[in-house]
């Protein structure tokens, strides 16, 4: 076997340029696939991370009847005394922070421009809202007793020509079905990196939001962050039995999971097409090699090498080409993944600000995982060996007397 391996590598070295370009074809194919896998992973990881930070958190506690898509403000659909509940939940060991939030629909009117927004009432002092503080671009973050201040997104500010200190009117509905309008002053401008979210979301202190919507001591949800998101099921189990609906991040991100699964299913077909095309280059190279070495095959057969050994010899060459291709793929793919993981790829406003949608950041950062790398490398190697099957079979079926004549 060692002799066969030695012969395989030396035979490939006979025509270094051809062997290199054959391996390069596979390497380019693998490099592209590694990059695509890294993009998908980066996009999905980014979307999940974004959702966990800004939308779903690790856990949410809601009233049994609450439908987040309807943004109901009826008291029967809300949680009463949310601060107490949040405090109790925060006392659980796996919980990092728990805070009440109120959701309402509204319209921002400034001059002749208007824009529909989602109003989120938050407790500015809660550490669960620190990610918004980190996203502040200008101005100040809210305080609990701020009755006039509002935070708007960078995209909304640009859209309506607003800045820190600007005033505008906010229209919103109330718990008894009325519509009220209130003047607000832009206290600060934030950016989450998701244009759609920044365009469609404004923040008020929870007490102010409760006051203008007539919800008093009620909240839409208790937003919970855990030290380890994998503890979500355990915390859910601990809270089950109360009159509330408990949702884990997995429950709230099913669309993301389904999207990821669908993307991965489509990508399998894409992978096979790319690798199949690059595999034909290896087949072509080895067929040429078989024709060039017909007499040599005859010699080996003449000195007693059996068909299966001749076949193994050529399959070893395709295996070696596959290994070379994988190494080149790592270099090419590694360079592309490094670039896009460092600088990202700007895709623009693809995110949806409405709850239940996918929160895709404007810029995707590639993330290559070890399982993806190993999986694609193994598939590439298998494709390389399969590409060598036909030429190896051709070589093994040659009659020695014909091969010695060069036929």
List residues near other proteins by CB under 8 A: 3, 7, 10-11, 13-14, 295-296, 299-309, 399-401, 404
A 10 A CB-CB count for 197 gives 27
Task: Output the smallest distance, CB 288 to other proteins, in A.
Answer: 16
Which CB atom, from 237 or from 302, has the smaller least distance to other proteins? 302
Task: Output the smallest distance, CB 10 to other proteins, in A.
Answer: 4
Which CB atom, from 300 or from 328, has the smaller least distance to other proteins? 300
H or E element in which residue 277 lies: helix 254-292
Which CB atom, from 266 or from 291, has the smaller least distance to other proteins? 291
Task: Output the smallest distance, CB 300 to other proteins, in A.
Answer: 7
Query: For residue 109, which of 190, 172, 203 has the smallest C-alpha distance?
Result: 172
Which CB atom, from 255 or from 404, has the smaller least distance to other proteins? 404
Task: Output the smallest distance, CB 386 to other proteins, in A.
Answer: 24
Task: Output the smallest distance, CB 299 to other proteins, in A.
Answer: 5
Which CB atom, from 329 or from 388, has the smaller least distance to other proteins? 388
Task: Output the smallest distance, CB 310 to other proteins, in A.
Answer: 10
Kindly give the interhelix angle for 307-342 and 2-14, rounded to the nearest 10 degrees.
60
Which CB atom, from 139 or from 388, has the smaller least distance to other proteins? 388
**Strands 167-173 and 218-219, how do they pair?**
unpaired
Alpha-carbon torsion angle 259, 261, 266, 271, nearest 10: 130
SS3 201: strand
Q: CB-based burial of residue 334 (10 Å sphere; 0-12 exposed, 13-18 middle, 19+ buried)?
A: middle
CA pair distance 279, 325, nearest whole angstrom: 10
The secondary structure of the chain in percent helix, strand, coil, rounded to multiples of 5, reads 55, 20, 25
β-bridge partners, 110: 113
SS3 187: strand
């Amino acid at each position: 076997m060692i002799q066969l391996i030695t012969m395989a590598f030396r035979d490939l070295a006979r025509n270094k340029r051809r062997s290199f370009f054959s391996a390069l074809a596979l390497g380019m194919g693998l490099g592209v696939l590694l990059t695509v896998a890294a993009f998908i992973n980066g996009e999905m990881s980014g979307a999940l991370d974004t959702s966990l930070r800004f939308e779903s958190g690790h856990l949410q506690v809601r009233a049994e009847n609450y439908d987040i898509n309807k943004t109901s403000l009826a008291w029967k659909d809300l949680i009463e005394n949310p601060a107490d509940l949040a405090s109790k939940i925060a006392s659980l060991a796996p919980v990092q922070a728990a805070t009440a939030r109120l959701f309402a629909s509204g319209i921002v009117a400034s001059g002749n421009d208007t824009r529909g927004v989602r109003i989120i009432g938050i407790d500015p002092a809660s550490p669960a809202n620190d990610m918004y503080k980190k996203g502040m671009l200008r101005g100040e973050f809210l305080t609990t007793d701020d009755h006039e201040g509002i935070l708007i997104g960078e995209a909304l500010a640009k859209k309506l020509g607003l800045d820190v200190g600007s005033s505008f009117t906010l229209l919103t509905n109330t718990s008894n079905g009325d519509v009220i309008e209130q003047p607000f002053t832009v206290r600060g401008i934030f950016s989450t990196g998701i244009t759609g979210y920044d365009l469609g979301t404004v923040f008020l202190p929870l007490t102010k939001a409760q006051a203008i919507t007539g919800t008093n001591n009620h909240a839409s949800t208790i937003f919970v962050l855990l030290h380890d998101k994998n503890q979500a099921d355990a915390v859910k189990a601990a809270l089950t039995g109360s009159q509330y609906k408990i949702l884990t991040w997995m429950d709230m991100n099913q669309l993301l999971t389904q999207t990821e699964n669908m993307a991965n299913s489509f990508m399998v077909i894409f992978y096979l097409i790319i690798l199949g095309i690059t595999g034909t280059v290896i087949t072509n190279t080895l067929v040429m090699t078989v024709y060039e070495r017909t007499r040599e095959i005859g010699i080996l057969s003449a000195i007693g090498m059996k068909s299966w050994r001749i076949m193994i010899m050529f399959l070893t060459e395709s295996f070696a080409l596959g290994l070379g291709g994988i190494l080149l793929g790592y270099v090419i793919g590694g360079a592309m993944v490094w670039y896009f993981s460092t600088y990202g790829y700007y895709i623009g406003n693809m995110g949806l600000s409405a709850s239940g949608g996918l929160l895709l950041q404007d810029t995707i950062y590639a993330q290559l995982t070890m399982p993806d790398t190993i999986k694609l490398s193994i598939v590439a190697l298998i494709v390389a060996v399969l590409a060598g099957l036909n030429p190896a079979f051709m070589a093994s079926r040659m009659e020695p007397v014909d091969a010695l004549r060069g036929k």
